[in-house]
Structure 1
């Protein structure tokens, strides 16, 4: 599954340039660009990402999986669906970028209660900033964040930064694996 997802990411979500050509959120220029949404919103990509992320969290004894909207949303839903298929149901949840200011004021949408163990996920980690925000917001709502999983690690310090907030952090696919696959399949 991982190899197939890597190939799909290379076709739909990964861009590479010999010179820094892609502007990142930080404003910095990079040789690599990863936008996982075309892959995680694709039926096969959703299937693969969901199963691989569920496999990465299944031993953590969590009741929920989610992260900052929108990057984490399709992955969380896919992982929750995969958990149901494997008779180990885990709830999906979404963390808002701005707190809901009406009704029940909160950061998180989903069927979770304070004290429950959860895994925070993200589509891509560069510095880990959005994953860390998700961890902090989940904790502010009383959730016990015990694991973080990133679909693609750009290998620029993000996992190390996230690890300062939750010890158990992993990535499904690394930038090096994407570059290796991209190089193997790139047409001259």
Structure 2
């Protein structure tokens, strides 16, 4: 079994998770204007990615530039991993590759303290990516405990590149936010991503 094979009911029963839907995870978030370079890159990349219309194209052309910008904003004190193996517990089915991992550490050679897991939704469908994202968040929680990384809150993101949906795991409670965020509001989306990392730092620090 792997992350992509889990269903919501399996996650609830096997990990004693409580799922709360339609939760407002982020409140009073300040919009943040990204760099002119990112705007220029996305202006070129978004139409191309949507025309190609594959997960790989969306990942490379939309999501990756945003993650690089996020890392630059934090003066490269966070690390960014793409497509890495993150097999945490084979006996529990927590194995496989994560599309994206952000770790609150400047170390880029290995994953140390996962903060955010991003999963491109299959077939341009946000809903289909939620179980995989939650499974990876549970794995990140277990990984942190083993590494004695005291992060009490794990955030997850399911994204098609153009649509973004956020999740939060605290102990065994999974919050799934009500709506979605869109790449058209890049300032609002970037503000949420920054706040997510800052909040994780508060929990970690």
TM-score (norm 1): 0.39
Ranked by relative contact order (alpha carbons within 8 Å, sequence separation 6 or more), the top structure is 2
Q: Greater helix percent: which structure?
A: 2
